[in-house]
Amino acid sequence: MSLTKDPQCGDVSCGDCGKSWPKIWAEKRGLVDGSDCIEAECPSNVDEDFSDVLSQYMAEENLHRFEGRRGVETLCQVARAIGYKDPQYFGQLTSKAVVGDLIMMLEDNSGLVEAMIEWLGNQNSPEWKAALQGE
């Protein structure tokens, strides 16, 4: 089967089924080699892991911003897309991004909270250190 790489954005599409996948799909499989045409098994026939599905969703929804409010909106939208839906729509940011959805995801996944705390600890921020020490 023939996969074609878009020379501008690097996304890959299948000439047989017409589906397309983000650049990261091809890169993770070592298929990006600079050529316009890549011979490989069609990704629609491959059992994709969650990371691939998430990358495809984010590409389809144009979720490429991670800074500031847009980053928070992205995380809230992903939380909603994977099934965390706050029935009260607490803190609705956009039609697809609700802070309550993110809170529900955090409440349900202690490992996510732990990863965030670990990330904070790895930042070595003098301002955060001073704040915690009451300075």
pTM of the model: 0.64
Query: For the chain, which residues make up each domain, given as ranges?
Result: 2-48, 61-109
pLDDT at 31: 58
Task: Decide: 71 and 65 in contact? Cβ < 8 Å.
Answer: yes
Q: How confident is the model at residue 36, as a pLDDT?
A: 43
pLDDT of residue 4: 72
Tell me which DSSP letter residue 87 carries: T
What pLDDT is stored for residue 37 in this prediction? 45
For helices 99-108 and 110-122, the axis angle rounded to 10 degrees is 100
Sites in the chain below the pLDDT cut of 70: 1-3, 7-10, 15-48
Quick: pLDDT tens for 21-52.
666 666 666 655 444 444 455 555 556 688 88
